[in-house]
Homo-oligomer: A and B are copies of this chain.
Amino acid sequence: MGDQKLTPPCHHLSPTNVRDLFDSLDAFLFDCDGVIWKGDTLIDGVPQTLEMLRSKGKKLVFVTNNSTKSRRQYAQKFQSLGISVTEEEIFSSSFAAAMYLKVNKFPPEKKVYVIGGEGILEELKLAGFTGIGGPEDAKKIVQLKANTLFEHDKSVGAVVVGLDQYINYYKLQYGTLCIRENPGCIFIATNRDATGNMTDLQEWPGAGCMVAAICGSTEKEPIVVGKPSTFLMDFLQKKYNIPTSKMCMVGDRLDTDILFGQNAGCTTLLVLSGVTSQSTLQDPSNQIQPDYYTNQISDILDLMKS
């Protein structure tokens, strides 16, 4: 692209611009991994920042692509880290998968095969659907012999694929057969993040890895329900009745968080406490520019004080 700028450069969050930004907003939407915590470790200053925002009447919402937990399990995780968040404030991609089926009137008598964690199964159940697979299939081993016939449930009408630390050939064959052979079976991806901060020390393959595997064997593309898809925005707006122009999406990932915010018409703030470095942000090859960027969310608190 050379010198041609398609989008204006983003602003470093500063004592000068933070007050105007703050006053223009009614809600803050936060990504979790790399923004609130890394693995199981809270990022510095998070509780105080969230407390200040709440005390000023701002709505707080947590929008996460991590599908391994349900909303209930997320609320527990916040609790265990000393932060009070309700289930209703959490919009996870596991919840998004269940809501996608609900909105699209998925027949409740059909089953859903899950490649992913317990969180997806729990959300499916809460929405009235029957999920199979998931953790239960973690230890299944395929024996390939001449007369092996791998049987799959013909009543599976959807396959949901998310991050799965226990991915194996059994699950890949099961999901592939459902998508290829069950008429009308839909293929849902919770998200396509390449990697995630599964621990605080390094990145690990994300749902994008398992989703790509199923794309590779089925030669089909999924419906993505997590960020950057704005599927969840309708639920969020119905719940809070706030226009997206009064929302700020805060995240550490350009291709999911910031793109989601931009797709939805929100103000966007990139934090450098997760996967994106300042050099990646400012690299000429990067096409996604947030409105603002800063090191971590506690900068909002510090800059407001100064």
Report the stretch among A15-23, A48-56, A190-198, A280-288 that lies at the interface: A190-198
Q: Which residues of B contact A209 (CB under 8 A)?
A: 172, 176, 213-214, 216-217
Flag if A216 contacts B217 (CB, 8 Å): no
A235 in the interface (beta carbon within 8 A): no
Given pairs A144-B199, A167-B172, A176-B195, 6 additional interface contacts (CB within 8 A): A142-B204, A164-B169, A169-B205, A172-B205, A173-B205, A192-B216
Within 154-184 of A, Cβ neighbours of B (below 8 Å) are at 164-169, 172-173, 176-177
Query: Chain A 190-233, CB within 8 Å of chain B: the 1/0 string?
Result: 00101100111110111011111111111100000000000000
A240 in the interface (beta carbon within 8 A): no
Which residue from chain B places its CB closest to the CB of A149 in the assembled complex?
A: B201
Flag if B142 contacts A165 (CB, 8 Å): yes
- Which 9 residue pairs of A and B lie closest in terms of their CB atoms, listed nearest first? A212-B216, A205-B217, A213-B213, A209-B217, A212-B212, A209-B216, A208-B216, A40-B146, A165-B169
Bound: A168/B169 CA distance, A: 8
Question: Interface SS of chain A: helix, strand, loop or mixed?
Answer: loop
Which residue from chain B places its CB closest to the CB of A200 in the assembled complex?
A: B146
Q: Which residues of B contact A214 (CB under 8 A)?
A: 209
A41 in the interface (beta carbon within 8 A): yes
Bound: A149/B198 CA distance, A: 11
A162 to chain B, nearest CB (A): 13
A4 in the interface (beta carbon within 8 A): no
A211 to chain B, nearest CB (A): 6
Bound: A208/B168 CA distance, A: 15
* Candidates B41, B211, B215; contact of A146 at CB < 8 Å: B41
Flag if A148 contacts B199 (CB, 8 Å): yes
Q: Which residues of B contact A213 (CB under 8 A)?
A: 167, 205, 209-210, 212-213, 216
Query: Chain A 140-154, CB within 8 Å of chain B: the 1/0 string?
Result: 001011111110000
Which residue from chain B places its CB closest to the CB of A220 in the assembled complex?
A: B194
Bound: A282/B202 CA distance, A: 49
Bound: A201/B173 CA distance, A: 14
Q: Which residues of B contact A206 (CB under 8 A)?
A: 217
